[in-house]
Amino acid sequence: MFEFRMNEKKSLRDHPIFICGHPKSGTTLLVSLLDSHPQLIVYPNETFFFRGFIPETRKRDLDENITLAQRYLLHFFDRGLSYPDNPEPIMSMPDQYFMDYAKTCQAMQREVDANGVRHDGDLLSAAIIAYGRVHRKISPETIYWIEKTPYNEHFSESIFKWWPEARCIHIVRDPRDNFLTYRRKHGGLSAEDFAVGWNSSLSAGMQNRKYYGEDRYLILRYEDLTNEPENSLQELIVFLGITDDKILRIPTNDGIPWEGNSLFGDKFQGISNKPVGRWKRELDDRNVNIIESICADYMEIEGYEFQKRSQLKSYFILWKWRLKQVPSLRGDFSKMMKQRFGMLPH
């Protein structure tokens, strides 16, 4: 046991897997398939570590940041997790709830005390390993911990600087299906704004793969994962260097069977391709034209087929939207100048 812990101190915290991609692109499905694998610690919730936590650490000392991490990164306890020897949700047992939260905070402090903090990323490692200890998810087999937050791809520089042995899995989904689903959550989202965000996400992923190498950054299509799961799972097994296990075919969340997080009310018992191509029935031609016009280059690279459409109409819609951005861009620039220099441009 001592030998394992010594090796773990040197290696486990330095071997993360980050799940990347646009929201509602299939990142949660991917995490659910990896969730119960014996060689992995899968964190049960998004941490928003780079976009939310890191900006808050800049003017605090280490002790303050540890306290902040315990409050910010361990917030998953509000979800009512279950435990291997107790199937009853923790939220029905208030005393146990607070005891386990306290245990995890203490375990995180011990990780910091034992291993030190070389960089801000070590606070995330310590939080996830502490979660793994308290929930008995660490064993001599464990080789990776996994964190999933959409848009992780935009923070690759920090990821590979802090964790040179990290791996990233970027899942991409047909932008028309992705928009249809994401709009259910954000009703006011325009196809134009979505398409720009989708392009930005995939562009970052492709740049990361080119710069860091295919052995460290994998781009996986949602459609391949759901239509041909065995091929995609074998690709993941090779990429991560983990053993094949039947549990990879059973979606779970913190070890509990997971039926999906569909915004269309679908319930799944396993990997399903039912959501694939829904846009053909439910997305209007105008939004299809907009998305296909803006995302055309990356859609072609990823092998997504285009709907027959009026090319002229598509570009008219696109340029009309671009012209609308000019006043807002000028307004944003004016606001920035005023904030930084106390003046407005003439």
Beta strands at 217-221 and 167-172: parallel, antiparallel or unpaired: parallel
Region label for 265, one of left (φ > 0), alpha (ψ between -120 and 50) or beta (otherwise): left
244-272 per-position pLDDT tens digit? 999 999 888 877 876 655 544 555 567 88
Per-residue model confidence (pLDDT) at position 339: 52
Instruction: Give the DSSP H/E element, type plus range, for residue 183.
Output: helix 175-185
Give the mean model confidence (pLDDT) for residues 27-55: 93
Question: pLDDT tens-digit profile of 205-248?
Answer: 999 999 999 999 999 999 999 999 999 999 999 999 999 999 99
Give the start-to-end residue ranges of the domains of the chain.
Answer: 2-283
Q: Could you read off the pLDDT of 111-165 as tens digits, one per residue?
A: 999 999 999 999 999 999 999 999 899 999 999 999 999 999 999 999 999 999 9
**Cα dihedral 104, 144, 212, 182 sign:** negative
Residues in Cβ contact with 329 at an 8 Å cutoff, skipping those fewer than 6 apart: none
Whole-number Å distance between alpha carbons of 340 and 220: 41
Residue 274: per-residue pLDDT: 87
pLDDT at 254: 77
Higher pLDDT, 96 or 34: 34
Distance CA 41, CA 144 (A): 6
* Architecture of the domain delimited by 2-283: 3-Layer(aba) Sandwich (3.40)
pLDDT-derived band at 343, boundaries 50, 70, 90: very low
Higher pLDDT, 255 or 103: 103
- Residue 234: phi and psi, rounded to 5, are -65, -35
pLDDT of residue 9: 45
Confidence of residue 21 (pLDDT cuts 50, 70, 90): very high
- What is the distance, to the nearest Å, from the Cα of residue 106 to the centroid of all Cα atoms in its chain? 27
pLDDT at 312: 56
Q: 3-state class of 139 per DSSP?
A: coil
* Highest mean pLDDT: which range of 60-74, 178-192, 204-218, 296-310: 204-218
User: Which DSSP category does 93 fall into?
Assistant: -
Joined together, the tokens standing for residue 17 give 């897997």
pTM over 0.85: no
State yes or no: pLDDT of 5 exceeds 70: no
Vertex 80 angle, CA 79 and 86, to 5°: 150
Task: For residue range 285-331, list pLDDT tens digits in order.
Answer: 889 999 998 999 999 999 999 986 555 566 666 667 667 666 554 55
- Mean pLDDT of all residues in 64-81: 75
Q: Report in angstroms the alpha-carbon separations of 343 from 269, 301, 339, 340.
A: 59, 44, 8, 8
Instruction: Place 273 in a pLDDT band, splitting at 50, 70 and 90.
Output: confident
Nearest Cα residue to 91 out of 43, 44, 82: 82
pLDDT value for 85: 42
